């Protein structure tokens, strides 16, 4: 069980509330574990305390690389947008079934889609919920955040989830084992992956998602990775480091 603390005493009640909500252990002092959560006046952050630490990890939809990507990423002409059909469907409902840090889901919403973010990790869920709450009060992106909703659940049980509507598109970006010395993997993602773990059970996701999606399922994979569940897609869109395997439902 991961611990959560606060950066100062005034935030102790908030830290305790987050601990209760997500099943974390509250600590009055800085925990000695390799990873712990900390609430600050600015955001909820994940701390890696050893020498491999990339620094505090948190989600911010308002600034940094995700803001740059929203403004200058290429709109509906970028490969990821085409993969989920944003150049074909008007305001589709997209379920990001492995939401993680929520970056791709935010891009979908910024391009006009309604997006349901689904995540089974309580750590990811807490970070996402904090980021969505903060972003909702930012007038520059509040309209985008209104198109995003969060569900704390394991997408492998998607067939039992009571969603208000059937998603047009289901997007999967499962954690994939990286080579330790790969220069292509950001330190932040490695730290997050070391804590959360790989999605070694992701093969079983595809069949469930194919049953629930109206129009297509899109799987993001490393460029040389095998097809999920060894199932050949309808088509693939390749980029330098990864590809999008697209499974189009018959008749759509």
CATH superfamily of 64-248: Vaccinia Virus protein VP39 (3.40.50.150)
**Mean pLDDT to the nearest integer, 80-95:** 94
On average, the pLDDT of the chain sits at 88
Q: What pLDDT was estimated at residue 94?
A: 97
Residue 170 in this model has a pLDDT that exceeds 50: yes
Domain ranges in the chain with CATH number 3.40.50.150: 64-248
Measured distance CA(115)–CA(247) in Å, rounded: 19
Measured distance CA(242)–CA(222) in Å, rounded: 4
pTM for this entry: 0.89
């Amino acid at each position: 069980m991961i611990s959560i603390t606060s950066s100062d005493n005034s935030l102790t009640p908030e830290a305790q509330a987050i601990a209760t909500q997500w099943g974390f252990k509250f600590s009055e002092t800085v925990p000695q574990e390799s990873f712990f959560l900390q609430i600050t006046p600015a955001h909820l952050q994940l701390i890696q305390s050893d020498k491999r630490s990339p620094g505090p990890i948190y989600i911010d939809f308002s600034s940094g690389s995700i803001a740059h990507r929203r403004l200058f990423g290429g709109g509906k002409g970028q490969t990821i947008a085409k993969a989920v059909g944003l150049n074909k469907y008007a305001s589709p409902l997209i379920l990001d079934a492995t939401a993680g840090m929520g970056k791709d889901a935010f891009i979908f919403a910024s391009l006009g889609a309604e997006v349901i973010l689904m995540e089974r990790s309580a750590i990811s869920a807490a970070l996402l919920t904090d980021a969505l709450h903060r972003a909702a009060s930012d007038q520059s992106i509040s309209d985008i955040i209104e198109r995003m909703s969060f569900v704390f659940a394991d997408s492998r049980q998607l067939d039992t989830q009571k969603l208000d509507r059937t998603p047009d598109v289901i997007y999967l970006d499962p954690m994939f084992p990286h080579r330790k010395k790969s220069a292509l993997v950001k330190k932040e993602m490695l730290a997050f992956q070391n804590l959360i773990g790989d999605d070694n059970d992701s093969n079983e996701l595809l069949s469930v998602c194919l049953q629930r999606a109206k129009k297509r399922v899109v799987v993001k994979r490393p460029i040389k990775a095998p097809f999920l569940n060894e199932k050949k897609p309808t088509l693939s869109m390749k980029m330098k480091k990864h590809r999008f395997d697209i499974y189009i439902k018959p008749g759509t």
